Amino acid sequence: MSRTKPRSTGSSNPATKFLQWNTQASAWEFYDKEAQESKTLPQDTGFIILDQLITAKGWDDRKNSAIWANEVYTVGDKLTLRNKDGIIATGIWSEVKTVHGVKFTKSVYAMAKVGSDYELVNFQLKGCALTAWIEFEDKVGGSNKLEGDIVVAVTEAVEDRKGAVSYNRPVFNIVSNTLSNEAALQADMMDGTLQEYLSSYLKVEKPTEDEDDEGEESELEIAYSEPQVIANPF
């Protein structure tokens, strides 16, 4: 899914922030390299989806190391899992999901308005945030329903519990289906930049052999009400 067609090749990831859901703060957290500290964006930060990919993230407590992987478009594409020591596994998701500490992760590229500026950001959705995203896509009728001028945001955080651990899970909703002319123009420009990067990146990362498509499917059936339309949300 993309807002515009791919253009020429690019080189470096254009996202300015890589956001993860903080289950305790109920906010989007990112690491500010310049300040060398973690910061947050409000949970209700609105965003326009530009593209969605798949990756894997996690933490290996035995190695005291993060786990990360390349980004791909489908669960049938090959992932290469790495930690601080190097490559630890390769294969499609069904083959690498047993690696200790790894989690299936959606990589959602989007345009968000941060303060007074538009930014190309990346949401790394795993755990309860991934579950919430799958539920959201199911209730709106699939990812294709989020194309175009749809603005999405976390409209609330619901307290939940797993065993003795309590956490706040996000609830995604469509908050508008209209854009200002400026926001639409910026979104097109940012998607063009993103597609240039992905065109180059996926040529390098794409596996040569085909694999069977096997993935996780949600069985939730949730009635969805019409979104509240906010004129010129950005």
Instruction: State pLDDT tens for residues 138-178.
Output: 999 999 999 999 999 999 999 999 888 899 999 999 999 99
The Cα 195–Cα 182 span in angstroms is 20
Buried-exposed string 21-46: b where 16+ CB fall within 10 A, e elsewhere: bbbeebbbbbeeeeeeeeeebebebb
pTM exceeding the 0.85 threshold for the entire prediction = no
pLDDT tens for each residue of 6-46: 544 446 899 999 999 999 999 999 999 999 999 999 999 99
